Amino acid sequence: MAKNKFSKEWVMQHINDPFVKLAQQKGYRARAAFKLTEILDAEKLMRRGDVIVDLGSAPGSWSQVARERLVGKGGVLDGRILALDILPMEPIAGVEFIQGDFSEESVLETLNTMLDGAKVDLVLSDMAPNLSGVGMADAARVQIVIELALEFALMHLKPDGALIVKAFHGSGFSQVVESFKRHFKRVVERKPKASRDRSSETFLIAKGRKL
């Protein structure tokens, strides 16, 4: 019964959520688009000509935002967007999509082949593991996903490139921040307005690799 009540409450909050309504108006696939736009505007990231990798891309709202910002005159994409997710994603014009598990070597190899040695300007990771509700186990899962994104970024980013990852406050968060600070000159944390208040979700932005 309580679960039913909770589900109804969530549905009502979702329906009345101003960011959900705005996403529908603007044609974004998810309200998460506004989390990214706020971060990009604040950090002055993403410009035409960039090579962008979007990890955990489904349903595609972050790739939609990236495409908007890279499209030049005549609606031509100026730059590249490579998106990856374990789930299927409806096509987005100009976005190169790989369906697969990012933690699998064969999927990483496919992504590396598609990059063909090109260095990346911006790595986006909205990836989050399936959570069990067991604090320590979930913290470990989250940390693994973030470490995978960080490892990829360190291999592929340009020296002045940037990484944006979703993280969660709680066990292991401070270690994640320390790890980022070891590898990047500037690490900031942002919780965009579109991120729900009750959520422990936050975003780390790392810029300028320490070589």
User: Among the options 26, 158, 166, 210, which is catalytic?
Assistant: 166
Per-residue pLDDT at 142: 83
The yes-or-no answer on residue 26 being catalytic is no
Task: Specify the higher pLDDT residue, 139 or 165.
Answer: 165
Tell me the fold of 2-209. Rossmann fold (3.40.50)
Tell me how far CA of residue 26 lies from CA of 13, 33, 48, in angstroms. Answer: 20, 10, 21
Q: Is the pLDDT of residue 48 over 80?
A: yes
Q: Apex CA 105: angle with CA 101 and CA 147, to 5°?
A: 70
Per-residue pLDDT at 19: 66
Q: Is the pLDDT of residue 57 over 60?
A: yes
**DSSP letters along 26-73, please?**
HT-SSTHHHHHHHHHHHHT---TT-EEEEET-TT-HHHHHHHHHHB-G
Q: Is the pLDDT of residue 200 over 90?
A: no
Q: Is the pLDDT of residue 171 over 90?
A: no
Per-residue pLDDT at 157: 97
pTM of the entire predicted model: 0.88
Handedness of CA 125, 130, 134, 136 (dihedral sign): negative
pLDDT > 70: percent of the chain: 87
65-110 pLDDT, tens digit each: 999 999 987 889 999 999 999 999 999 999 999 999 998 999 999 9
Across the chain, mean pLDDT equals: 89
Is the separation of the CB atoms in 34 and 64 below 8 Å? no
Q: Is the pLDDT of residue 139 over 90?
A: no
Q: Is the pLDDT of residue 3 over 50?
A: no
Per-residue pLDDT at 1: 39
